[in-house]
Amino acid sequence: DSGVTQTPKHLITATGQRVTLRCSPRSGDLSVYWYQQSLDQGLQFLIQYYNGEERAKGNILERFSAQQFPDLHSELNLSSLELGDSALYFCASSASGRSPLHFGNGTRLTVT
Partner 1 sequence: AQRVTQPEKLLSVFKGAPVELKCNYSYSGSPELFWYVQYSRQRLQLLLRHISRESIKGFTADLNKGETSFHLKKPFAQEEDSAMYYCALGGTQGGSEKLVFGKGTKLTVNP
Footprint of partner 1 (CB under 8 A): 2, 33, 37, 42-43, 45, 48, 50, 55-56, 88, 90, 92, 94, 96-106
Nearer to partner 1, 60 or 79 (CB): 60
Q: Where are the beta strands (DSSP E) in the chain?
A: 5-7, 10-13, 19-24, 31-38, 42-50, 53-57, 64-68, 74-78, 87-94, 102-103, 107-111
For the bound state, the minimum distance from the C-beta of residue 16 to partner 1, rounded and expressed in Å, comes to: 26
For the bound state, the minimum distance from the C-beta of residue 37 to partner 1, rounded and expressed in Å, comes to: 8
Cβ–Cβ under 8 Å, residues 51 and 36:
no
Nearer to partner 1, 65 or 105 (CB): 105
